[in-house]
Amino acid sequence: MQVTFKIWRQEGPNDKGTIRDYLVDGLSEDMSFLEALDHLNELLVLKNEKVIAYEYDCREGICGQCGVFINGRAHGPHDNITTCQLHMRSFNDGDTIVVEPWRTASFPVIKDLIVDRSAFDRIIEQGAYITAKTGTAPEANAILIPKEVSDNAMDAAACIGCGACVATCKNSSAALFTAAKINHLNRLPQGKAEEHKRVKEMTYQMEIEGFGSCTFTGACEVECPEGISITNIAELNARLTKANFLG
């Protein structure tokens, strides 16, 4: 299998980037997309050229580090997957594949396909945790949590922080990410003590990081690898209104 990769190359945050073409042969349709990039990098090493910098860790769709645009779409041509879960069988022999980093001011490019997503970390630092002392772990049935509530909390907790929602949104909004991190805790009894403080401080941090406003188009939901629903954003807006009213 042979394809042409058109890949964004940028030496550093302050350097001017450009798209470079790489004709790559010897690929298998069973390779993952990251394995194809590994193969390309091996070829570049043999030519004594600089390898392409890109992020990855688990390669199991869990860590959220591998996100890139592939032919103009976050993580590639399929819904609700990460880049490491994409395989070359999704492309045809002879295809041209354009690979770019996330495009948003809040995720500045570090090098090539790697972006700085520390803005997400700073949002989490403002309240995506519980500080109330809970003592030793209670018996599982001691805290009465309806199954619907626990299921919804776990659905929100599935967010892996990949940034596809931001990169895909026309406004570069981080509302889905922030909503998932807030709703996960605010839905559970353990998170109730700090729910109003959490929602105000995390949404404020989201704003000062320069993310755009949500206009509820739903693009984020389509590209989210975990399929997190935009109903979380509606719930976030309701929680924020309540928190501001109660002071």
Domains of the chain, first to last:
3-111 (3.10.20.30), 117-246 (1.10.1060.10)
100 bridge partner residues: 69
**Cα 246 off chain centre by:** 32
* Residue 246, amino acid: L
State the first-to-last Cα distance of the chain, in angstroms, to the nearest integer: 61
Question: What SS3 class is residue 96?
Answer: strand
pLDDT at residue 115, rounded to an integer: 97
Report residue 176's pLDDT band, with 50, 70 and 90 as the boundaries.
Answer: very high
Residue 137 tokens, joined:
């772990």
CA angle 180, 185, 188 (to 5 degrees): 125
pLDDT at residue 134, rounded to an integer: 67
Structure letter (DSSP) for residue 98: E
**Cα 28 off chain centre by:** 27
Asked whether residue 213 carries a pLDDT value surpassing 90, the answer given is yes
Model pTM score: 0.91
Asked whether residue 35 carries a pLDDT value surpassing 70, the answer given is yes
Residue 77 tokens, joined:
């041509």
Q: What is the pLDDT of residues 37-70, one digit of tens each?
A: 999 999 999 999 999 999 999 999 999 999 999 9
Asked whether residue 132 carries a pLDDT value surpassing 80, the answer given is no
pLDDT at residue 214, rounded to an integer: 95
Asked whether residue 144 carries a pLDDT value surpassing 90, the answer given is no
